[in-house]
Structure 1
Amino acid sequence: MRRNWAARLRHVVIDGLRAVVLENELLRVTVVPDKGGDVVEFLHKPTDTDFVWLSPQGLRSPRDHLQGAADDVAQFVDHYEGGWQEVFPNGGAPSEYRGARLAQHGEVSGLPWSYEVTADSEDEVAIRLSVRTRRLPYRMEKVFRLRSGTAALEIESMAGNDSPVALHAMWGQHIVYGRPFLRPGARIRLPDGVQVIPHATAINPAGRRVRAGGPWTWPIVPADGGGHTDLSVVQEPGSPSDIVYLTGFNEGWYEISGDIGMRVEWDASLLPYLWMWQELGASTGYPWWGRAYTVGLEPFSSMPTDGLAAAVANGTALVLDPYETKTLKMRAEVMA
């Protein structure tokens, strides 16, 4: 029997794409299996606050690129609606691995996933999504679970190597925050002892790292050549764009908060890095055109955002042995 109370779910269609709405007394979470299993809504109902950033271009079917001359970047960027993506087995820029050309953040974020309902009661609802990659012999599953009375989404993801040879991968959670939740002055908290690695240092490991924890800073140098930015505080619109990498997590968690907040927890032994990406309106060319105000806080297995080949070269790529499956558990909870 369909419910409109406690934990419940609905099957809907958004812009021609299959979607599932998981809902309880406090949260409404919308997942799009037809586009990478993306989370396109994470709404805290008591305050009417959606945490995810939504791109001005909106939700687009990943099948659209087959009708045109898409390149390895356009496959992701031209169909990027914001929200939260599973990134596997390539993170960041297009890359080539053992003869396979991998697109930006490819492959699973651009594929339709199959799904099934695994729990549907007043106490909890859950769906399991699954997909197989096309360029590498991987399979993935992902379970979203929402329990009655909680403001937390529980996620369990599995990545499996279906071949008799060891393979590398980059595995990440592309989580970005936007208005109305994200505002100048919002605070980011991390465990003590975390270190900040600038992108230039990630490419050249001889560079230095800066300790984080408590108030932590790293100089983001704008076009005019001056200034430092306190990365624990979300900056004003028009502030410089940048990406840094954080590591040294004894516990995998962060909090980002303004009037209310979000706490994300994950297995830092599997995803030991956190990519922090900010696009606050300073980029006035493709693809942002000055319209983005967003911060990404993205647990990742590897770095930098230069693709799988670079991660293999610097020793941070994840290794899946023949027929091995790795499991990642996460929790995203609203702090009200």
Structure 2
Amino acid sequence: MAGAGRMTPAPLRLASRDLMVGVLPAKGSDIVEIIDQRTGVDLMFRTPWAAWDTPSTAVWDSRSRWLSTYRGGWQVLCPNAGPERAVNGALWGFHGEASVVPWRIVHAAETEAVLQTCLHTAPVSLRRHLSVDGAVLSVLEEVTNLSDREREVMWVHHPAFGAPLVAEGARLYTGARTLVADADAPGTVLTPDSVHTWPFVSGADGRTLDLSVLPGPTSHREIFGCLTDFERPYLAVVNQELDLAVTVSWDAKVFPHAWLWQEFCATEDYPWFRRAYALAVEPASTMPGTGTVAGLRRGEPLRLAPHETRSAHLTMTVSSAEGAVSQFRQRGSAAAGEISVSNQ
């Protein structure tokens, strides 16, 4: 999309000896790059139009507008995630207002930053403290109900990883025990609403696949579903060839699910045109969709009491591949994040 818009503003950068993290306060407080200083690898997925801000067009739906400025990286989705919907007289756009509006920089230093925003489509404010310490990125985030009645929101973190970390033969580890395929758009492999024991799935063609082993871009595979029933809340992408691994951990009390998105150059038409090679495991308050499946209720929101603040802590740790695998063998997962609930 070169020439289609203006250049993306420079990110706010946080750095330690081991990591360099780029954040865009002007657009959703997106974490657009996480660079491992040892290898020089940017862990995050980048869209083909990552360097450009394409002007929104009024006739587009909210999904198209969101995608037009999506660079990849790591977003926070609130008060909505997934398709747009009408709530309390407002239209909650695709993937929610928090991921597209500007955030105010409250504090910024070499290794940490505090950012905040208040939403218009829901009486909700968000505040996040980002910090890097060695090879660990910490995200401490608060969501506050500003009104005097209970409010329901969706709260999802959307980190998407790309090449060269994501590569043929790399492995995906997670503490989930169950994968539920999406009811409407499960991708090229899964049957809608099918339930599988992670990591083995029965494909629509009857073959069994191990989803923990990542295929290359020529696989043209797409998967969308929800990981749930976590023994331990974590994900890890391990690339033995690069001797590189990334582990994300969180607390399942706020994020009991994780949306799984694999787009391995599968979508022939808009928006990817087979140009996207991405993997995302997204800690989520809510299962995508509506209705029930396997005794689980899709679309169950996070409920905030009047003036309640809910906070959650996520961590991302970058390590050697062997170091990550040794940790799994010894402890079964990375250490979980922390969570607290308070009323103001």
Q: TM-score, normalised by structure 1?
A: 0.83
Partner Cα distance (2:157, 2:304) in 1 = 18
Which of 178, 181, 186 lines up with 1:195 in the alignment? Answer: 178
2:132 corresponds to which letter in structure 1? L
Partner Cα distance (1:19, 1:166) in 2 = 36
Q: Which residue of 2 aligns with 1:293?
A: 277
Q: Give the root-mean-square deviation of aligned CA atoms.
A: 2.5
SS at match of 1:218: strand
Identical positions, percent: 28
1:56 correspondence with 2:48:
yes
Give the drift of 1:305.
Answer: 5.1
Which of 222, 236, 240 lines up with 2:216 in the alignment? Answer: 236
> Which piece of structure 1 moves more, 52-61 or 165-174?
52-61
Which of 241, 248, 251 lines up with 1:267 in the alignment? Answer: 251
Q: Is the 8 A contact 1:18 1:34 kept in 2?
A: no
Which of 81, 89, 93 lines up with 1:91 in the alignment? Answer: 81
Partner Cα distance (2:203, 2:153) in 1 = 29
2:114 corresponds to which letter in structure 1? R
Q: Which residue of 2 aligns with 1:310?
A: none
SS at match of 1:241: strand
Give the drift of 1:211.
Answer: 2.4
1:134 correspondence with 2:120:
yes
Query: What are the equivalent positions in structure 2 for 1:222-261 lying under 5 Å apart?
Result: 225=205, 227-237=207-217, 238-259=219-240, 260-261=244-245
Which of 49, 62, 69 lines up with 1:72 in the alignment? Answer: 62
Which of 92, 106, 113 lines up with 1:102 in the alignment? Answer: 92
Q: Which residue of 1 aligns with 2:265?
A: 281
Q: Which residue of 2 aligns with 1:6?
A: none
SS at match of 2:65: helix
Deviations 1:209-234 (A, max 9, x none): 3222xxx212344xxx5644321111
1:84 corresponds to which letter in structure 2? W
Which of 20, 27, 38 lines up with 1:35 in the alignment? Answer: 27
Q: Structure 1: state its 5+ residue gaps.
A: 1-13, 308-312
Q: TM-score, normalised by structure 2?
A: 0.81
Deviations 1:30-85 (A, max 9, x none): 001011011111110111111101001114448x32x6433221221111111110
SS at match of 2:112: strand
Q: Which residue of 2 aligns with 1:10?
A: none
Deviations 1:253-292 (A, max 9, x none): 1111013110001111100001110111111100001100
Partner Cα distance (1:316, 1:54) in 2 = 30
Deviations 1:189-241 (A, max 9, x none): 122x62111112999xx9663222xxx212344xxx56443211112223321
The list of structure 1 runs, each at least 4 consecutive aligned residues, that deviate by more than 6 angstroms after superposition, is none
Q: Which residue of 2 aligns with 1:218?
A: 201
Q: Is the 8 A contact 1:144 1:155 kept in 2?
A: yes
Change (3 A) 1:242 1:306: farther
Q: Which residue of 1 aligns with 2:305?
A: 321
1:164 correspondence with 2:148:
yes
1:35 corresponds to which letter in structure 2? K
1:47 corresponds to which letter in structure 2? T
Partner Cα distance (1:232, 1:144) in 2 = 29
Q: Which structure shows the bigger proportion of residues in strand conformation?
A: 2
Q: Is the 8 A contact 1:164 1:322 kept in 2?
A: yes
Q: Structure 2: state its 5+ residue gaps.
A: 1-5, 187-191, 292-296, 321-344
Q: Is the 8 A contact 1:59 1:80 kept in 2?
A: no
Deviations 1:7-47 (A, max 9, x none): xxxxxxx9353521111111111001011011111110111
Deviations 1:290-309 (A, max 9, x none): 100111111111011579xx
Give the drift of 1:242.
Answer: 1.7
SS at match of 2:200: coil
1:132 corresponds to which letter in structure 2? C
Q: Is the 8 A contact 1:94 1:306 kept in 2?
A: no
Change (3 A) 1:201 1:35: closer
